[in-house]
Structure 1
Amino acid sequence: MNTEELNFAYRVRHALNEKLDDLPASTTERLAAARKAAVARKKAHVEVRVARTAPAMAGAGTAGFGHAFGWMNRFSVALPLVLMLCGMVGVYQYEQQQSIAELAELDAAVLSDELPLSAYLDHGFNAYIETRGQ
């Protein structure tokens, strides 16, 4: 259906919808019957087209390279998902290693400091650190 036919159909539908209440009952019944017949013809036309193309499409997978590379189509869908999952696991592992390295550096700094460990537990030491930071 080209653009002109589609526009004409829209204009007819719009005109019928505007005057729908003014149409006599016999006309609305005839229009409803015509619509049912048109829908039935359209469904029959679509079913015939599907019935004709289905056998042709069924044989297409076995001819030439279609059947030989069928696994490749499925693999091409799964491969990006697997790569994304591996990338996410890699980023997670990297972040974990970075966190472990930072904590190890902090522990080494605390243990190699001249202050005894009990100083870090003293509440007065926290107050001293806060006032020194200002």
Structure 2
Amino acid sequence: MAITPAASLGSSDDVDGVSRRFDDLQYRGDRAGIEAIVSPRLRYITGTGDVRGREAFLAATTVSGSRLNPFDIREREIVRMGDRSAAVLGLATISGSDASGRRFSRTLRYLDLFERIDGRWRVVLVQVTPVAASLR
């Protein structure tokens, strides 16, 4: 398995570029854009360990009235598993305000699993794990 350093920026054609676009779409809460990248069979493992599907992920990432700051992503790695799949993992701090105007900040380890389907990289699994304050 090859690990691609975070510093390498790929085109929108490769998994690195698609992954970065996926992050940006989530930051902007762009439901149509997210829908175009996530597989209909997406599995979403929440920070509490629940396994949910595509609709739950879309609801969680496109909350009406919330405002996000740009994501602070560190320790980003891409692990390629052949020509058709890749895992993108990292440590992300997500902050902003919820629909009620309350400020929040949380740090998560994340894993996005991509699969090349019909010539396009699609997200088939997302897992987020809250990180203890001492590890931030």
- Measured against the shorter chain, the TM-score band is under 0.3
Judging by fraction of residues, say which structure has more helix: 1
Q: Which has the higher contact order (CA 8 A, sep 6+)?
A: 2
Provide TM-score, normalisation by structure 1: 0.17
Q: Which has the higher strand share?
A: 2
